[in-house]
Amino acid sequence: MKRNLKLITLLLLIAPALLISSCKKDEAPQKTLADAKKEWVTGTWKQKDITLGVTTSVKVGGNKIKLESGWSMLDHPTLNYLLTQGGQSPNPFAFTRNNVYAFNSDGTYKVDGDNDYSILFSLPEAGKSGAWDTEVYSSVLALFPAKDKRVPYWINTITASTLNLAITVNIPGLGDVPMNLLLEKQ
């Protein structure tokens, strides 16, 4: 009888603990937007376009020419005219047309292009390869072409199939110009 009493007492003590512990939900950790964005970055991307990032104007021969944000640096006639100096030289952004950017799941990246200009006018300072990561809630794509060099690129928008990176390209005579690098997942 005494043993039974002890058992009952023990059960009474344990029961609430069991009841409480059974209330705890076994929830799967929710994926944050930052996690999703990093996952989306991972993979191989083909360049779709490079567009002007700001609306601005330039003076050419006393004429003020307005340049609209969103114009293609590769194909827009006005920009093409300016960049080729009226067709006298090639458009440097045209060399980026076939660029392919691979952000591998092992944290390395590689940029393939037609020539050196291909990278200089798309991801300047990134070099052809290095390490990559995302920062600031995956809104920054940080490239590490060398151990002591960090080159950040702002991710304007990203989905599973599209990536829009903010880049700044130095155009001789104009200075640093904000642009957008538009990529499509392969």
Partner 1 sequence: MRTYCFATRLFFIFSLVLFLHSAAVAADFPVRGSVTDENGPVAGVTVMEKGTANATTTDNSGNYALTVKNTNSVLVFTYVGYKTVEIAVSGRQVVNATIESSATELTGVVVTALGITREKKSLGYSVEEVAGKEMNRVAQENVLNAMSGKVAGVTINQTGAAGSSVSMVIRGAASLSSDNQPLFVIDGVPIANTLNNVSQVGNDNRVDYGNAIGGINPDDIESVSVLKGPSAAALYGSRAGNGVVLITTKTGKGMKKTTVNFVSSTVFEKPYKFLEWQSRFASGIYPAIPVGISGNIFTDPLGAQDPRFNPNYVIIDESGGAGGPELDKGYNALQWNSPLDENGKPIAIPLVSHPNNVKNFVQTGVTSTNGVSVANNTENMNYRVSLSDMRNRGIVPNSDLFRNTINFNSSLKVTKNFRLSTNMDFSRNRSNNRPAGERGANPMQWAYAVSANTDIRDLKDYWVPGQEGLAVRSTHPSANNPYFLANEVNNSFVRDRVYGNLRADWQITQDFSLMLRYGLDNINEKRQTTISNGYTSEPRGAYGISHISNFEGNADFLANYKKELGDFNISVSAGGNTRYQTGSSERTATKGGAGLIVPGVFTVQNILPANLDFNSYTSKKQVNSIYEMATIGFKDMVYIDVSGRTDWSSTLPGAKAYFYPSASMSILLNEIMGISSSKINLIKLRGGYAEAGNDTDPYKLVSVLGNAGTWGNIPRLGTSSTLLNANLLPEQATSYEAGIDVNLYQNRLRFAGTYYRVDNQNQIFSTDLAPSGGSRYKNINAGLLRSAGWEFTLGGTPLLTKNWRWDISANLTRNRVKIMELASEMPYFTYWADAKGGAYTFLGEEVGDIYGPKMRVVEDKSSPYYGYPLLDGGNEDGAKWIAEDALATKNKIGNFNPRFILGAQTSVSWKNWTLSATLDWRNGGQFVSQTYRYGIEDGRASLQFDNFFDPGTMSGKELRDYLVAHEDELIKPHGGKFIRVGWPTPERASYPVIISGFNLPYGGLFAPGVYENRDIDGNLIGYIENLGENILEKDADGKYIGTVPMLYAVSNPWDFTEPTLFSASYIKLRELSLTYALPKSLLSSLRMQDISFSVYSRNIMLWTQAKIGIDPENAYQPTTGTQGGIQFKQGIERYNVTPWSIPVGIKLNITF
Window 81-110: residues binding partner 1 (CB under 8 A):
none
Number of residues forming the site for partner 1 (CB under 8 A): 23
Site membership for partner 1, residue 34 (CB under 8 A): yes
Decide: 86 and 29 in contact? Cβ < 8 Å.
no
Cα separation values, 156 from 37, 66, 72, 83, 88, Å:
11, 23, 16, 25, 34
3-state secondary structure of 70: coil
Q: Report how far Cα 69 is from the mean position of its chain's Cα atoms.
A: 19
Q: Which is nearer to partner 1, 84 or 150 (CB)?
A: 150
Among 114, 116, 135, 184, binds partner 1 (CB under 8 A): 135
Instruction: List the structure tokens of 135.
Output: 């920062």
Site string for partner 1, 47-66 (x = CB under 8 A): ------xxx-----------
Interface residues toward partner 1, by CB under 8 A: 33-34, 36, 53-55, 69, 135-140, 151-154, 156-157, 159, 166, 168, 178
